[in-house]
Amino acid sequence: MITEVEGVALHLAHPDEISAEWVGQPDVMRQLLAAWLVVDERDLPMSPRLIGKPGVGKTTLAYAAAQRLNRPVYIMQATVDTRPEDLIITPVIEGAGKLRYVASPLVSAMLQGGVAILDEGNRMSEKSWASLAPLLDNRRYVESIVAGVKIKAHPEFRLVATMNDDASTFDLPEYIHSRLQPQILIDFPERDEELAILRENLPFSEERILEYVTDFLQTAHAAEERYTVRDGLNIARYATKLRKLALDEITYRQALHTALVETLGEEALRYAPRP
């Protein structure tokens, strides 16, 4: 799709379409939707950040919340190499001496009134965050030096940043920290919620495999181990495949033992449920 801003043609990104169903933890869903709510014509939506360990479902929550608003969703993956122009508009050579201006997923969401998910935002440098400062306050715009245009956000535009709680990230500059509010913390789910997540994502797996993996995860959580439901899904999925391939030759516990070791390593066995 192409749209025009101040006489400049911008090629927009396509929305992301993924399978995402938020199971359990209704409080964090309510907190995110409340942050995006506009309660008066003088009010503005907030730009929250979702914080938690890798694999707890931050992106899933953001996508599922956007679906509840019936908005197109654009996911922008942040890395240490993300440049300001990557966040806004990138020039692409098109033919002899001709440039095509390609809008980022974030800018595409701004123009289309969609939801932008800035994934793993605290992997970005301060220079990149600085280019988004006017978007995150009441100005609600970004400026592209490359294309020479100012892009204002559609009234229905919403933004959320997900951030991993680990050591491989940057600290946010204070002026960005104060703009990305509220801070919504996502913790490990309770047992029934974790089992429901496994059932939702792996409806084809044996119930005893899902129960085993849930018990493993809950024991690991209690020990403050960083294993998450994403790890559990990988273990259960692999064990299911091993069983499918050799149903008469491998027990479900043998399949789980192999899946556990080959997914997380021998050290994970300390949290494995006892026979």
> pLDDT tens-digit profile of 233-272?
999 999 999 998 886 678 888 999 999 999 999 999 999 9
Q: Domain boundary at 185, 210, 236, which? A: 185
Residues in contact with 61: Cβ distance below 8 Å, sequence separation at least 6, in sequence order = 22, 25, 28, 29, 32, 50, 186
Range of the domain at 152: 2-185
For residue 140, the domain's CATH number is 3.40.50.300
- 139, 158, 185 - which closes a domain: 185
- Who's near 264: CB < 8 A, 6+ residues apart? 227, 231, 235
Contact call for residues 148 and 111 (beta carbons, < 8 A) = no
Same domain? For 227 and 135 the reply is no
In this prediction, residue 116 has a pLDDT band, given cuts at 50, 70 and 90, of very high
> In whole angstroms, how large is the CA radius of gyration of the chain?
22
pTM of the model: 0.86
Q: Are residues 94 and 171 in the same domain?
A: yes
- In this structure, what are the phi and psi dihedrals at residue 122, rounded to the nearest 5 degrees? -80, 15
CB 159 within 8 A of CB 73: no
From first CA to last CA, the distance across the chain in angstroms is 57
Out of 17-26, 146-155, 166-175, 195-204, which region has the weakest mean confidence (pLDDT)?
166-175
Instruction: Return the HEC string of 40-97.
Output: CCCCCCCCCEEEECCCCCHHHHHHHHHHHCCCCEEEEECCCCCCHHHHCEEEEECCCC
Query: Average pLDDT for residues 78-107, to the nearest whole number?
Result: 89
Among candidate residues 189, 187, 184, 188, the one with its CA nearest the CA of residue 50:
184
The strand order across the sheet containing 89-93 reads 2-5, 8-11, 99-103, 89-93
Whether 273 is in a domain gets the answer no
The total of structural domains in the chain comes to 2
Last residue of a domain, one of 163, 185, 207: 185
pLDDT of residue 168: 58
Q: Does residue 255 lie within any of the structural domains?
A: yes
165 and 36 together in one domain:
yes
